[in-house]
Structure 1
Amino acid sequence: MGAAARPAVPSPAAARPAVPSPAAAAPVRRDPLRLAAQLSPLLGLGLAIALVWWGLDTGVLRSLANLQQFIDSLGAWGPGAFLLASAASVVFPLVPAGLLVIAGPLLFGPVEGTVYNYLAVSAGSLLNFAIARHVGLGLIERLFRPRTVEKFLGWTRSGHFTRAFALAITLPVAPDDLLCYLAGTTRMRWRTYVLIILLCKPWALIAYGLGISALVLRVLPW
């Protein structure tokens, strides 16, 4: 009688699980919103350069009088477009909001320009809070750099966050847009947030908008 057949022993290569090759791995998809947030400053810079080029070519930016005359010729469309652009820049940083805050007094005069800045920035700040309250931290981490979010997120864990937030809104020393988003993820009440924005925001706008615009008028040969 012949010897019993031995069971086949799998080779080490056959026993190893199949490892997919890098080429077969699923491609990493880039977040379109994060990519847009990263590219938006470059797009805003390009738009600003194009507007300056157009203004110099047409003579609108040859003097402050020409610029204000052009704004007056737009009628209600001028302030309306400025308010919309300023509020939108607070929500999504296509153009740095600080540039529009400086432009307000230059375009419409110190008093009217500051009032427009106040209305637009306050509206954008309130919208930031509302968006964060309904969407949460996930959207904020897609719009801003994770390191920056984590840095200022520590403020929200402090028992003195409300006071620190009010001070940051009063003094233009911190990224207000990000802080307004982060405030929406905390337990801060709507009433408290609205009061801070309405009462503290004017001082930063006056110091930054009027101060820098006055300096620009001294530097530019207008």
Structure 2
Amino acid sequence: MIDQPFYVLLGPDGAGKSSVMEHIAGRLPDWRALSTDDGLVGPEHTLVTQLRHHVVKDLLPKLGTDYSPEFLAGMLQTAVVYLRDQIERHDPAVPLLVDSYYYKILAKCRLAGVQANPMYTWWRSFPQPRAVVYIDVSPETAWRRSDHGARLNPLEYFGERPEWLGFESYQKALGKLMLEEIRDLPVTVVDEQPDLARAADAVVEVLTA
């Protein structure tokens, strides 16, 4: 295993990680932001973003009917391996911030019904970060940011449709599983901020301390 220093930005759905990552890319030009989000994936890796969109558009609506939870986990593993590859190829002299790494994907796979899988052992053997910055947000705030469920996908709530109780229950379970996965790592929790700009400021303060 390659010893590659990096940091992970983690948080529940609606915490604003994508926006914070974009802010940080502008605020800390000496850092590299690594994610599977469209704006942070290079043109040489368009397959990564295509697979991500196909999972949301084509797989999730048919999860449990045409596709099994294990098939979903196999598809999501492509994102995990992509992030691992990029970490191991990264110049160690350049500070690196990784969006969620495998922690959130593993938690979501478990919540989808794949409680145990040999892939998890493999993922846990990947390089570990120096520290994790966990952006916290209340389910109530995340629900408002999702336009009261209108912009959620089926991996963000329990139940057949996005409703408040299913969303709240899912997000609490998701947070518990993610924190359980990183319990042996140095973790700094950034409490909920009034807006995403202040959340980015708080994360920058942690990273540059």
Instruction: State TM-score, norm by structure 1.
Output: 0.29
Higher relative contact order (CA 8 A, sep 6+): 2
Query: Larger helix proportion, structure 1 or 2?
Result: 1
Query: Larger strand proportion, structure 1 or 2?
Result: 2
Higher-Rg structure is: 1
Instruction: State TM-score, norm by structure 2.
Output: 0.30
